[in-house]
């Protein structure tokens, strides 16, 4: 149960040593809360949280969310799941288990504790969209048996579970649909375009572009994304989502590759390879609901965010 005499919350973050989880941990600790950071370190990294171990309000627990967890907390952010195709396709069955069994276990914990729980869902629930930009009312165009299905359908099932727990048991839920996010602490080998392009550019290697580069994405800097998640969690119980959290500035992948080369001062050339199966042709969030419900919109420009990310990877490469 929530504490009666203390405004400080004890907050559980699953996937807390990952890219997003570690930034969320920083934000919540800075606000004065206690954070229980849970991660099995499959894609998360101790390096992302090394700077936090001296903080008396920080605790790390190595645990897999596919197994039940018994702790006492006031809020739960459920971020645990590999999020890049290279990682989630490495063990697709485990990826589905992480989304589905992980959601069941965390929802069960939230039910016992009677606490709010936020699900980090994804724009991948929209699949290869036939509606553009994507609003939260769009049901998506997802291949249920393709190589990306373990992630796409796993996240869709997790959303189903969250809303059924809400309807059936009155649980206070929040569902955020996260669009492409980038920034420091991205895994250098996660295969996502921002980290791929920057690493290749810094190493002077050819930039790998899949398809003709005309497919589009919308990239949100991590600080903006975290602010959106925290704002959503802090809404009253009538706000459940789903709410798109992402940057509506749409650009082609070719444009992103050219920016990565220019901003890193690289001489890398661009090489083209076949487009992966079921890779979405376009992706852009409609953030009207986030603006009106959360008072949120991204503030960090692509140029600012890319420079910070390039600086991070340059230091990582030099280490």
- Residue 3's DSSP bridge partners are none
- Crossing angle (nearest 10°) for helices 222-233 and 19-30: 60
Catalytically annotated residue among 77, 88, 126, 151: 151
The yes-or-no answer on residue 210 being catalytic is no
Number of Cβ within 10 Å of residue 312's Cβ equals: 17
Report the alpha-carbon distance of residue 174 to residue 77 in Å, rounded.
Answer: 9
d(CA 213, CA 196): 14
Catalogue the active-site residues: 151
């Amino acid at each position: 149960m929530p504490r009666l005499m203390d405004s400080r919350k004890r907050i559980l973050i699953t996937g807390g040593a990952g890219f997003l989880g570690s930034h969320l941990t920083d934000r919540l600790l800075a606000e004065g809360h206690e954070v229980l950071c849970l991660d099995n370190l499959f894609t998360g990294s101790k390096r992302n949280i090394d700077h936090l171990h001296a903080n008396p309000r920080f605790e790390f627990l190595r645990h897999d969310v596919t197994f039940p967890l018994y702790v006492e907390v006031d809020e739960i952010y459920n971020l645990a799941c590999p999020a890049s195709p290279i990682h989630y396709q490495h063990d697709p069955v485990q990826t589905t288990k992480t989304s589905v069994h992980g959601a069941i276990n965390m929802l069960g914990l939230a039910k016992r504790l009677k606490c709010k729980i936020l699900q980090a869902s994804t724009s991948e629930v929209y699949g290869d969209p036939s509606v553009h930009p994507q609003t939260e009312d769009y049901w998506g165009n997802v291949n249920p048996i393709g190589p990306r299905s373990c992630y796409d359908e796993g996240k869709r099932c997790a959303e189903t579970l969250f809303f059924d727990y809400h309807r059936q048991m009155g649980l206070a839920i929040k569902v955020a649909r996260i669009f492409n996010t980038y920034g420091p602490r991205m895994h250098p080998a996660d295969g996502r375009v921002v980290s791929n392009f920057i690493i290749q550019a810094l190493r002077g290697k050819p930039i790998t572009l899949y398809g003709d580069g005309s497919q589009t994405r919308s990239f949100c800097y991590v600080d903006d994304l975290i602010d959106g998640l925290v704002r959503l969690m802090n809404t009253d119980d009538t706000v459940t989502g789903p709410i798109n959290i992402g940057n509506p500035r749409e650009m082609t992948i070719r444009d992103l590759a050219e920016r990565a080369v220019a901003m890193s001062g690289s001489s890398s050339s661009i090489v083209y390879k076949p487009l992966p199966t079921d890779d979405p042709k376009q992706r852009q969030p409609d953030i009207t609901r986030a603006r009106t419900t959360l008072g949120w919109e991204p503030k960090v420009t692509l140029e600012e965010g890319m420079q910070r990310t390039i600086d991070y990877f340059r230091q990582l490469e030099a280490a």
